[in-house]
Amino acid sequence: MIRPNKASKRIKYPLVVKLIGIISIIVVVSMATITGLSSYFFSEDSRSRAEENNLTVSQVLSSQVEGKVQSILSSALSLFDVIREGGGNRALERSTVANYFDRNAEVAYLAVPGKKRIVNEKFFAANELDQAVIDPFILSKGDLIERARGGETLVCNASPSVGVPAAALFFPYRDMGTKGAMILVFSTESLQAIVQTGSTSSSYVVGFDGGLVVHPDFQLLKMGVNFSDKELVKRLLKSPTDNMQFRYRDADGREYLSAFRKLAVGGLSVTSSTPTALVYKAALDVTRRNLYLTGVVLLFSILAVWFFSRSVSRPVLRLVEASSLIEAGQFELDMKSETRDELGLLTESFVHMGHGLAERERVKETFGKFVNKAIAEQALKGQLSLGGTRKTATIFFADIRSFTAISEKLSPEAVVEFLNDYMTRMVDCIDKTGGVVDKFIGDAIMGVWGAPASAGSPRDDALAAIKAMVMMRYALLDFNKDRGGEDRPLIHNGCGVNTGPCIAGQIGSLQRMEYTVIGDAVNLASRIEALNKPFGTDILISEYSYELVKDEIVAEAMPAIKVKGKAEPLTIYAVVKMKGAEGPETLAKLREFLGIQPPEGSVDVDKEEVKYEVIGK
C-alpha cells in the first residue's frame, strides 16, 4: 500500500473543491440568469406601471383641479352678474353675497379693482385671520392685474400673505365694454386633499412661473417656494406640449419617473413623480428572495457533491500520492485498484507506468555513466542518428603531467584508485559549469562547452570553460593535500582551451556510434594543452578564447607559437585568475603558489610534438 509522502507537495485545489466549484458556478450562473431575467422583466413591468400611474394621476388631478378652479371662476362671474342686474338693490346684494359664500365657503375675497370689493368675513373669522392682510397682497400683484386686464387668466400662491393654504385667481372681467380684471382669493385646502393621493407618487400644482400653488407640505406654500429651478418644472415650463412623461435625476442624484399635464385655465400645471427606488423596490425584493433561494440550493448542492465526490476523490488522492512518489524517484508502486471503473483502470496503468519508468531509469543511470547524460537521454528517446552539425564550441583538454612515470611506480590497483579520485573531482568541475565530458583518453580528459547544448553564446561557453579550469586548479590542490611520497605522489596537470568552429554529432557506424566534436579547433586545443609543460603553466587558452573573455580574466601572453597547419603565428595566454577573485596576481606568483618550476632558457615548443624517438634499426 502507498504511504503518504511527507515530502510531496500539498494539493492546492482538491478534486472535491473543483467539483464543488463547478457545481456552484452552474447553480450560481443558472440562478443568477433566472434572477436577472425575472428581475429585469419585473423591473420593466414596474416601470411601465409606474409611468402609467403617473400619467393617470396627473390626468385625474388636472381634471379635478381644473374643474375646481373653473367652478370657482364661474360662480364668481355669476355673482357679479346678479349684483349688476340688481341695479344697486342693497338688500338683494347682501342676500346674493350671503348665499354665494354659503355655497363657496372656500372663497375669502372677490374684487374688481376700482369698482367692487367683497370680503368673506366668516372665512377670516373661522381661520382667525385679519382681513387687513388682503390689501397689501393685492397691491403687490399689480403686474398680474394688468395681465388679467389684457386677457390672461393666472393663478398664484397667496399662502404667504393669507397664512393658510390659499391661492389668488386673476382673470379678465368685461363689464359694459370696459376691460377690467377680477381677483379671487380662495382656500386651497380641498385641492391639497386632492394632491395627497396616498400612492407611491408625489403630486403638486405649480403656476405659470413655476411657483408652488398646491402642495401636500403647507410649509413650502407658506414660504412661497418656487420650483422653477427643479429639473421637472424646467422641462414643464419649456415644453411646447400639454403633457409628457419622462425620467430625470434631481440635484441630489435621485432618479424619478415623472409626468405633467398643463391645465387650460390659470397657467396651472399638475405634476406627478415617483422615485425609481420605490418603483424597483418590489423587483429588488424579488431579487433578494431569489438570492436566498440560490443560497439554499447552493448549500444542498455542495453537500450532495461533497458526499458524492468522496467516492471519486479518495482513489484520485491515492494516484496523486503515487505521482508524488514517482516524482521523488520511487517508481515501484504497491497499488491495487479498488473499483472497476475508469479510476480502477487508471490505477492499473499507473502501476505499469511506474514499472516502466523504473526500468528506464536503471538503463539511463547505467548508460549515463558511459556517455553524457544529455546524449543518453536522446538515445533512450531514439533521437540519435549518424551525422553532425557545424557549431562554435569551446574545447578543453586536461592531462596529468608525467603520468607514465607515475604509473610505472605504482601497482595497477593504486593507479586506478587515484585516477578515479582525480577524474571524479575534475569531471565535477565540468558538470557544475554546464560542460560535457566528451571522452577520457587514458589520463586525459576532453570536455566541450557549446555542444550539444550552449550556455547562450560562444562568449558564455568560453567563460564557463575557463571557470571550470580555475575550479580544477583548486580541486587539484585539495586532492594533493594528503598526498606526497612514493606510493602517493603529488599530481600536476595542464589544461588547454580553444574556441572555434567544429563539427558536432554522432560519429561511427549504425552498430556503434559516439557523440563527439572534430575539427581544427579540437586539434588546436590538444596542442595548446601540451604546451603547459614547456611554458611552466597549468592553464593555457588560445587567442580566440582570450578575445571573447579578456574582460573577465587576468591572463599573461606567452611567446607566439607556430602551429602546424596555421600560416600565421598564434598567441596563447596563461590564465592567472578570474577578475575580482582572490589569489595570485601574476603568473610568477601563481607558479610559486602551485609549486610549478618556471622554464629555464628559451622554450622549444616543437620538442613537445615529438612523441617518440627511434633509437635503432
**Domain of 493: which CATH number?**
3.30.70.1230
Residue range 186-196: mean pLDDT, rounded = 84
Residues 426 and 321 in one domain: no
pLDDT confidence of residue 610 = 43
In-domain check, residue 327: yes
Number of domains in the chain: 3
Same domain? 348 vs 430: no
Chain centroid to Cα 160, Å, comes to 61
Higher per-residue confidence, 485 vs 614: 485
Residue 5 belongs to a domain: no
Question: Same domain for 322 and 188?
Answer: no
Whether residue 418 is found in the same domain as residue 352:
no
pLDDT tens for each residue of 425-478: 999 999 899 888 888 888 889 999 988 878 889 999 999 999 999 999 999 888
At residue 270, φ and ψ (nearest 5 deg) are -105, 130
Instruction: Read off the amino acid at residue 312.
Output: V
Mean pLDDT of 36-59: 72
Range of the domain at 333: 282-364
C-alpha torsion sign, points 216, 218, 220, 222: positive
Residue 375 CA to residue 387 CA, distance in Å, equals 14
211 and 124 inside one domain: yes
470 and 591 fall within a common domain: yes
Number of CB atoms found within 10 A of residue 237's CB: 16
User: Would you say residue 617 lies in a domain?
Assistant: no
Contact assessment for residue 541 and residue 498, using Cβ atoms and an 8 Å cutoff: yes
Residues 459 and 423 in one domain: yes
Model confidence, pTM: 0.46
The rounded distance, in Å, linking the Cα atoms of 448 and 393 is: 7
Q: Which of 303-307, 342-346, 420-424 has the highest mean pLDDT?
A: 420-424
Q: Which has more confidence, 7 or 345?
A: 345
pLDDT at 46 over 80: no
- Same domain membership, residue 325 and residue 195: no
Per-residue pLDDT, 362:
62
Highest mean pLDDT among 54-68, 203-217, 558-572: 203-217
Confidence of residue 601 (pLDDT cuts 50, 70, 90): low
Q: Do both 196 and 262 map to the same domain?
A: yes
Whether 3 is in a domain gets the answer no
List the beta strands (DSSP E) in 442-532: 444-449, 493-508, 513-518
Mean pLDDT, residues 393-414 taken together: 84
Whether 27 shows a pLDDT value over 90: the answer reads no
Stretch 360-387: mean pLDDT: 59
Say if residue 484 is in the same domain as residue 554: yes
Average pLDDT of the residues of the chain: 80
Per-residue pLDDT for 77 more than 80? Answer: yes
Answer for the pair 450, 525: CB distance below 8 angstroms, yes or no.
no
**Closest by alpha carbon to 123, among 79, 65, 189?**
189
Q: What is the pLDDT of residue 341?
A: 66
| Region 94-108 average pLDDT | 88
Return the SS3 of 377.
helix
Q: Considering only 50-59, 293-302, 404-413, which range has the smallest mean pLDDT?
A: 50-59
Question: Is 145 or 290 the better-scoring residue by pLDDT?
Answer: 145
**Is 481 among the domain residues?**
yes
Q: Which pLDDT score is estimated for 4?
A: 44
Looking at the DSSP bridge assignments, the partners of residue 390 are: 503
Q: SS3 of 230, please?
A: coil
407 and 473 in a single domain? The answer is: yes
Residue 227: pLDDT over 80: yes
Q: Are residues 539 and 560 in the same domain?
A: yes
**Averaged over 64-87, what is the pLDDT?**
83
Average of per-residue pLDDT across 367-379: 58
